[in-house]
A and B are shown apart, each in its own frame.
Chain A
Amino acid sequence: MLLIRCPWCGMDRPEIEFRHAGAAHITRPGPPDRVSDEEWAAFLYLRDNPKGRVAERWRHVHGCGRFFNAVRDTVTDVFVVTYRAGEPRPPESAPPETLPPETRP
């Protein structure tokens, strides 16, 4: 079974305790009366679908109940890093192709 590290519990826990909750670091546009339909549609519906590392929201629903963010590789399903909601994406979790060649994993 795939283990996912919950950054709140500080433990590796079985995958079935977690729920995926969409892309992370999506900023809600505002204020609402000045947001165009296009901006709002993009906020609601438009997402990247890259092959490789993505930042996602996850929730430890059958555990501590909290949301957190995870960088996951969509090719290997490896969880590169998990971190608490509200924290910035750790720089070392950047897609390998954006790193200098000598530091790529």
Chain B
Amino acid sequence: MVDGFVDTPRFRLIEAPPLARFVLRAPDAALKAAGKAYGLALPEGLNQGASHGERGKPGARVALHLGPDEWWLIVPEAEGPEVAAALEAALASHPHSLVEVSHRQVGFVLEGEGAAALLNAGCPLDFSEQAFPPGMATRSLFHRVGLMIWRMAPGLFRLEIDRTLAPYFVTALAEAAKDHS
């Protein structure tokens, strides 16, 4: 959908491969058990992201703490069913909800030294490294659409956007990119 759409020496937008996604709502008491079953400790600090492995490759795990009792879990598409089964088994004694939202949204990578400045074309967050350090993940807005922004490194962002709103986001980003080239 987006390859080559936003591609300059200063930033590049890449669409993610198909992924399995879950929203976990659970109390703090369930975190240890959930992390053990998931294969990656769920970050305790709000607006923090954690991961291991390479996205889309076997065993890759992402956990994003986006609300006081809300985590997004993102794994390779083929591993979704086994991850869900392992979590449900581990959380049986805790009140929780685990909802698959794989196809609700699409993932992007925005990378390059100008990536933060480009995001600021539509997102009012402060992307200085003091205010938004690598490791931070949060929902916000890009113009009229909500999105999730996870900063993995100073010039490397992972984004998640609702599927039906993604064309708006990509078009708006491409328009903003013209001002930077």
Taking beta carbons and an 8 Å cutoff, which residues of A are in contact with B? 1, 8-11, 13-14, 16-17, 62-66
Which range contains the number of B residues in contact with the other chain? 10 to 19
B35 within 8 Å of A by Cβ?
A: no
**A65 touching B124, Cβ below 8 Å:** no
Count of inter-chain pairs, beta carbons less than 8 A? 38
Contact A64 B68 (CB under 8 A): yes
- Residues on A with beta carbons closer than 8 Å to the beta carbon of B51: none
**In angstroms, how far is the closest chain A Cβ from the Cβ of B148?**
10
Some 24 contacts from A to B, beta carbons below 8 A apart, are A1-B124, A8-B46, A8-B67, A8-B68, A9-B46, A10-B46, A11-B47, A14-B125, A17-B140, A17-B141, A62-B139, A62-B140, A62-B146, A63-B138, A63-B139, A63-B140, A64-B47, A64-B66, A64-B67, A64-B139, A65-B66, A65-B70, A66-B67, A66-B68
Closest chain A residue to B47, Cβ basis: A9
Q: For the complex, would chain B's binding face be called helix, strand, loop or mixed by DSSP majority?
A: strand
Asked if A65 meets B141 with Cβ closer than 8 Å, knowing A8-B46, A14-B124, A14-B125, the reply is no
Cα–Cα, bound, A1→B123 (Å)? 12
Q: Which positions 27-81 of chain B face chain A at CB distance < 8 Å?
A: 46-47, 66-68, 70
Which residues of B lie under 8 Å from residue A62 when comparing CB positions?
A: 139-141, 146
- B97-127 interface bits toward A, Cβ cutoff 8 Å, 1 = contact, 0 = none: 0000000000000000000000000001100
